[in-house]
Structure 1
Amino acid sequence: MSKLTERAAAAAGRTAAPSDADELPAVLDSIPDSAPAPDPMADYEPGDDDPDMVPVHIAWLRVRREIRAIGKGEKYEEGRTRYNFRGTDTVVQYFGPVTLKHGVNVLPVRTETSYGTKQTKSGSTMRECSVVVTWHIMGPTGDVLELQTAGEALDTSDKSTTKAQTVALRNLLLNGGLIPTGERDPDADRIERGIEAPARSAESYRDEIVDPKTSQGRLQQIGYELGNLRMLKTKVQNENGDWETLDALGQRTYKERAAGGAA
């Protein structure tokens, strides 16, 4: 503060106001510290049916543990083209209940598209769509895994984008979950002294079926595996010592678990 300012203030019978430099520390002291962002889980109280509050990578691992395989149970037949496949609806039916159980959400957050046209053999024009979808796999506490998958589809009307996005979703669930078909692998058998040795015995399947820790989803998958291995009619001794086919044992156990869960 200059002496001239002090003299002018004294002549007017008042005290000179402090300079901006003098006021600055006091002003800074009066500003409160930034408040932390509110915790969305601060008031959370777990209910009986709520998932465990674990990180997303743990929740996704638990989903994968329950969905061990999804068989190619659907068929495409047109002309000479025939093949089995795993449809998106089938895949979602497997993942839907299990992700709900473990508090996992699968959300598309960004979609990049490109379009083109293709001519069919009959001369009609089809619209081709290719997409790259960015997904967030969100865990029960709100943390996310970010993944990308691609999909493409053809359609004669306006559904090529929807179809391509559906393919991208199926690719996400199958590839991100590392879900096998459960079919017999060409290398599953080894030849020893002219005897074909199976990759897995009927008794090992029986033990997994009757294990109380085996989920209903896994029991369904075992059914697919046994069908592909042509072992559904293989007889084993059940938990009561009686002979029963693996198919009958699996269905009975599934119904008992379902009735117990409903009770």
Structure 2
Amino acid sequence: MTTIAERAAAAAGRTLKTDELLDVMAAERAPEQYTLAPDPMADYEPGDDDPPMVPVHLAWLRVRREIRAIAKAEQYNGGGTRFNFRGVDTVVNTFGPVTLKHGINIFPVDIDAEHRDTTTSKGNKMRECTVTVSWMVMGPMGDALPMLLKSRGEALDSADKGTAKAQSVALRVLLLTGGLTPTHDKDPDASYIERGNEAPARSAESYRDEILNPKTSSGRLQQISYELGNLRMLGRKVQNETGEWETLDSLGRRIYRERTGGGS
């Protein structure tokens, strides 16, 4: 009695041994057919102008380390409103050369846009666009950050540039947020305001006593320095804890270094 496999082979004009031989030959060819393509970076040697071949997270860290900060150096003054800001061109012009140096590429891979018609306070018709952009951050070795980064941007335009403007704003948000880019502006809490004429002027000695008080925090010492600068009292000399004459500026800096471990 023959098996189903033998009968199927006979119907096809072959014997079972022939099928078995074909299976063996197919198995021998399989490794050649399914071998993965060679890694194009395997024998790559960076040229003089190429970025270091490091993973994307290290390349991005080097970009952040080099940029450090971008100040709010531009000012908007219109409609009774005035404020400082970091514009799109400023941010892109700062990040562009540094990301190029370290081999970072940033690609928009998905854009979700919403539009609506609106008007200005003067009755002019405008088109408002809000976009949510998903970005891929790719490093010099071709690897990307493990997740897509998203940012939003809004813009108004009277013609057809609202979407492009909104995407530019979203890019600025991505770079500043993903780069944790500070402004190095003064902390608003560091300002000291005296209201009206009823606030008496402090003496140099009262500032000296507060500086030398062990309970005065390092943050308050920085604030005192700011106040003395505004009052033009940094150069005023007082007797320090050893009875020697020392300027308030020198005294404050010395005490601050002692309390924060900043050395001499």
TM-score by length of 2: 0.65
Structure 2 gaps of 5+ residues are: 193-206, 212-219, 231-264
Cα deviation, residue 40, structure 1: 2.1
CA distance in 1, matches of 2:74, 2:36: 53
CA distance in 2, matches of 1:30, 1:95: 53
What is the aligned partner in structure 2 of residue 171 from structure 1?
173
Q: Provide the identity percentage.
A: 55
What do residues 16-74 of structure 1 show as CA deviations (whole Å, max 9, x unaligned)? Answer: 72148645632532432211133121242211222111100000001101111100001
Aligned-pair RMSD on alpha carbons? 3.1
What is the aligned partner in structure 2 of residue 198 from structure 1?
222
CA distance in 1, matches of 2:76, 2:126: 20
**Structure 1 pair 155/192, CA: closer, same or farther in 2 (3 Å)?**
farther
Paired residues, what number? Answer: 194
Q: Does 1:139 align with 2:147?
A: no
Query: 1:173-252 to 2 correspondence within 5 Å?
Result: 173-187=175-189, 193-194=209-210, 197-198=221-222
Three-state SS of the structure 1 residue aligned to 2:106 is strand
CA distance in 2, matches of 1:172, 1:159: 20
Three-state SS of the structure 1 residue aligned to 2:93 is helix
CA distance in 2, matches of 1:40, 1:121: 58
What is the aligned partner in structure 1 of residue 236 from structure 2?
none
Contact 1:189 1:198 survives alignment (8 Å): no
Larger Rg: 2
Counterpart code for 2:221: A
Cα deviation, residue 186, structure 1: 2.9
Query: 1:1-263 to 2 correspondence within 5 Å?
Result: 2=2, 17-19=14-16, 22=20, 25-33=23-31, 34-145=34-145, 146-187=148-189, 193-194=209-210, 197-198=221-222
CA distance in 2, matches of 1:187, 1:144: 39
Cα deviation, residue 192, structure 1: 8.6
CA distance in 1, matches of 2:119, 2:168: 23
Counterpart code for 2:94: Y
What do residues 203-259 of structure 1 show as CA deviations (whole Å, max 9, x unaligned)? Answer: xxxxxxxxxxxxxxxxxxxxxxxxxx99xxxxxxxxxxxxxxxxxxxxxxxxxxxxx
Three-state SS of the structure 2 residue aligned to 1:197 is helix
What do residues 81-126 of structure 1 show as CA deviations (whole Å, max 9, x unaligned)? Answer: 1111000111111111111111111111111111111121222221
CA distance in 1, matches of 2:151, 2:130: 11
**Structure 1 pair 189/39, CA: closer, same or farther in 2 (3 Å)?**
farther
Contact 1:189 1:197 survives alignment (8 Å): no
Three-state SS of the structure 2 residue aligned to 1:144 is coil
Cα deviation, residue 2, structure 1: 3.3
Larger RCO: Structure 1 or Structure 2 (Cα < 8 Å, ≥ 6 residues apart)? 1
TM-score by length of 1: 0.65
CA distance in 2, matches of 1:112, 1:137: 18
Counterpart code for 2:110: R
Contact 1:117 1:128 survives alignment (8 Å): yes
